Amino acid sequence: MPKFAIGVDLGGTNLRIAAVDDSGKLLQKLTLGTEVKRGRDHVIQEMCAAIEQLLAKFTSAGEMCGIGIGVPGFIDMASGMVMRSPNLADWTNFPVREVIEKRLGTHVILENDANVAAMGEKWLGAGREVEHMAMYTLGTGVGGGIILNGRLWHGMTGMAGELGHFNIFPDGHPCGCGSRGCLEQYASATAVVRMAREAIESKQASEELTQLMPDPVQFTARSIYNLTVQGDVSAKKIFETVGRALAIGIGGMVNALNLPMYVIGGGVSSAWNAFSHAMFEEMKFRSSIYSLTSPDLKEHKKSTLVTPALLGSDAGLYGAARLPMLEDFTQMEKTRTRA
Ligand SMILES: [Zn+2]
| Dist. CA 283 → ligand 1 center (Å) | 21
| Dist. CA 177 → ligand 1 center (Å) | 4
Predicted pLDDT of residue 77: 87
| Dist. CA 31 → ligand 1 center (Å) | 30
Query: Which DSSP string do the residues of 114-153 spell out, in sequence order?
Result: HHHHHHHHHHHSTTTT-S-EEEEEESSSEEEEEEETTEE-
| Dist. CA 324 → ligand 1 center (Å) | 30
Considering the entire predicted model, what is its pTM? 0.93
Predicted pLDDT of residue 335: 60
Ligand 1 (single-atom ion) residues, CB below 5 Å: 165, 175, 177, 179, 182
The 3-state DSSP class for residue 73 equals: coil
Write out residues in the chain with pLDDT < 70, as ranges: 12, 34, 300, 329-339
| Dist. CA 287 → ligand 1 center (Å) | 22
| Dist. CA 100 → ligand 1 center (Å) | 30
| Dist. CA 57 → ligand 1 center (Å) | 42
Query: Which DSSP string do the residues of 173-224 spell out, in sequence order?
Result: SB-TTS-BSBTHHHHSHHHHHHHHHHHHHTT-S-HHHHHHTT-TTT-SHHHH
CA distance 131 to 170: 33
Predicted pLDDT of residue 338: 57
Predicted pLDDT of residue 337: 60
| Dist. CA 78 → ligand 1 center (Å) | 24
